[in-house]
Amino acid sequence: MAKTKQNNNKDDKLTLLVEPRLVFGKKLNRLRKEGKTPANIYGPDFKSTAVSVEYKDLLKIYKVARETSVVYLMLKSDQIPVLIKNIQKHPVSDQILHVDFRKIDLAQKVQTEVPIKIIGQSAAVTQKGGVLLTLTEILLVEALPTDIPKNIEVDIASLTEIGQEIKVSQLKTSAKFEIKTLSDKVVVSVVEHKEESVTPETAPTVTPEVITAKPEEGEVPAEGAPAEGVKSSPSKTAGGKSTAKTPDAKSSSQGKPAQPAKPAAGKK
């Protein structure tokens, strides 16, 4: 059985001053330049209210409360208990652009997400070369607002062999809260370390370049050899007729005796 430890909220009362907001849409950029963050308060039996909060004050509270501690919003003469929800951040600067506050009833249980925190050392990792995989980082918890744990610590000392795992059903809870995440969901496991096989790159096949020796300057190519860059072709006479014999002419010339020369005119 995996050992777990629940860290409950023991902080002093967290308060945050907010004021009604009358600007919306594109005008919110001007509000942010003034050092304020647009926000919204919502909840059952509560009319949705647009507010703004000093950015530096919001950061201080969020670092402590996160989404698991009750924050009391000071709106005019009202004190509203809420949980921080739906933080929207800039993708590059990580600046908080907008935040929702969920109004709660301190006497009614709520469901919220609580992060896990891994503690201890696994012998399967430190001694047997295994790799620890965290498969579930957030657990759904139901509790009274003031009993929500800030995190649930999971002690991995029980993982002594490669292949072992800790499921949600193995986590211990307290009488103050209940884990609603599926019981058969794996939280952490130890797997065998596998080195990635690297396939060597095959060098491309290079066709060797055939270099024909050039004749020295002034040297005449051997008889019958074509000049550089010129294909061999039958020679032609000045009249444009080819002097090369056709296969028929060649075959007819072979095997026949030469005709005797005729005597000159006037001679017998």
Mean pLDDT of 13-23: 92
Amino acid present at 73: L
Tokens of 173: 């809870």
Instruction: Give the least confident one: 89-98, 193-202, 235-244.
Output: 235-244
What is the distance in angstroms between the CA of the first residue and the CA of the last residue of the chain? Answer: 136
Sheet of 177-179, strand order: 4-8, 149-155, 110-119, 138-143, 177-179
Q: Is the predicted pLDDT of residue 123 greater than 90, yes or no?
A: yes
The average pLDDT across 217-244 equals 46
CATH number for domain 111-191, candidates 3.30.420.40, 3.10.129.10, 4.10.640.10, 2.170.120.20: 2.170.120.20
Residue 104 has pLDDT above 70, yes or no: yes
What residue spans define the domains of the chain? 11-105, 111-191
Q: Is the pLDDT of residue 40 over 80?
A: yes
Compute how many other C-beta atoms are within 10 angstroms of the C-beta atom of residue 188: 21
Please report the pLDDT score of residue 4 as a whole number.
41
- Give the mean pLDDT of 119-127: 93
Q: How confident is the model at residue 214 (pLDDT cuts 50, 70, 90)?
A: low
Q: Return all residues near 123 (Cβ < 8 A) that are at least 6 apart.
A: 157, 159, 160
Whole-model pTM?
Answer: 0.63
Model pLDDT for residues 52-92, shown as the tens digit of each residue = 999 999 999 999 999 999 999 999 889 999 999 989 999 99
> Domain 11-105 has what CATH class?
mainly beta
Cα pseudo-dihedral 47, 52, 54, 58, rounded to 10: 40
Q: What is the pLDDT of residues 233-259, one digit of tens each?
A: 444 444 444 444 444 444 444 444 555
Report, as an integer, the average pLDDT of 37-61: 94
Sequence letter at residue 139: L
Contact 178, 143 (CB under 8 A): yes
Q: Are 134 and 115 in contact (CB under 8 A)?
A: no
Characterise 125 by phi-psi region: left (phi > 0), alpha (psi -120 to 50), beta (else): alpha
> Is residue 7 within 8 Å of residue 150, measured between CB atoms?
yes
Whole-number pLDDT of residue 252: 44
pLDDT of residue 226: 45
Give the residue from 213, 153, 156 showing the smallest Cα distance to 189. Answer: 156
pLDDT of the residue at 211: 54
- pLDDT exceeds 70 at position 210: no
Give alpha helix (H) positions in the chain.
28-33, 55-65, 123-126, 247-253
Mean pLDDT, the chain, integer? 79
CA dist 166 and 181 (Å) reads 14
Query: What pLDDT does 99 receive?
Result: 96
* Mean pLDDT on 208-215: 54
Read off the pLDDT of each residue in 8-14 and give the average, rounded to a whole number.
63
How confident is the model over 141-186, as pLDDT tens digits? 999 999 999 999 899 999 999 999 999 999 988 899 999 999 999 9
The answer on pLDDT for 23 being more than 80 is yes
| Contact call for residues 176 and 147 (beta carbons, < 8 A) | yes
Sheet holding 165-167: strands in order across? 131-134, 186-191, 165-167
